[in-house]
A and B are shown apart, each in its own frame.
Chain A
């Protein structure tokens, strides 16, 4: 069964600091997705990573994928308060279509 694990589950950061969220998955997949969820809202797609070595960046967020290690990272550079949210990674097995999510990392950026 496809499992997706994120760590840390909770992250309290100070503004202007850097940090990395890790996402491990259990079976072969070369598609990895990152989503953001604000409190009381639904999920919004951030990044789609489609091959080994893929790197995507938007603003202070950068995501990468290592399919051999079955690992994706979401790096936050110089955090600001409006990045506070819960971040989910998700992946799909090649032989079916159900997208499985990690438990999420709840990020709080403090002044």
Chain B
């Protein structure tokens, strides 16, 4: 169990650019989540995958945001035409099959949009 891995750890980009983040969940976990966390706030749910299927998507996720999980393994979160309000920590988490297990979080990708 190597834990949930996220890449990059930090990303600085100019407004209007596109960015993509990667998450590698714990290998036997079929459920994968993306959250956004701003300073002093709790994680806000963005989207959820079970295997390769995207089953839940928050209304917070505008059409500039897209997430994929091809083959049900790693996932990517892309933000197009970034805005300053997108600056946040983007957290990925995974959990195994079974309704009761907690989320295992990665260390996050901190995005700064200038």
Chain A interface residues (CB < 8 Å from chain B) = 4, 31, 33, 35, 41-45, 48, 50, 88, 90, 92, 96-104, 106
Contacts of B48 in A (CB 8 A): 97-98
Contacts of B107 in A (CB 8 A): 41-42
B16 contacts the other chain (Cβ, under 8 Å)? no
User: Are A97 and B42 closer than 8 Å at their CB atoms?
Assistant: no
Q: Across the two chains, which residue of chain A brings its CB closest to B108?
A: A42
A61 to chain B, nearest CB (A): 15
Contacts of B93 in A (CB 8 A): 43
User: Are B45 and A104 closer than 8 Å at their CB atoms?
Assistant: no
Given known contacts A97-B50, A97-B55, A98-B56, A48 and B45 CB-to-CB distance under 8 angstroms: no
Interface of A is mostly: strand
Contact with A along B92-107 (1 / 0, CB 8 A): 0100000111111111
User: Are B103 and A99 closer than 8 Å at their CB atoms?
Assistant: yes
Number of A-B contacts (CB under 8 A): 60
Given known contacts A98-B48, A98-B56, A99-B45, A43 and B91 CB-to-CB distance under 8 angstroms: yes
Q: Across the two chains, which residue of chain A brings its CB closest to B3?
A: A42
Contacts of A48 in B (CB 8 A): 100-102
User: Are B56 and A42 closer than 8 Å at their CB atoms?
Assistant: no
The CA of A41 and the CA of B108, in the complex, are separated in Å by 8
User: Are A43 and B58 closer than 8 Å at their CB atoms?
Assistant: no
Contacts of B33 in A (CB 8 A): 98-99
Contacts of B56 in A (CB 8 A): 96-98
6 more contacts with CB within 8 A, not counting A43-B93, A100-B45, are A42-B107, A44-B105, A48-B102, A92-B99, A101-B45, A106-B40
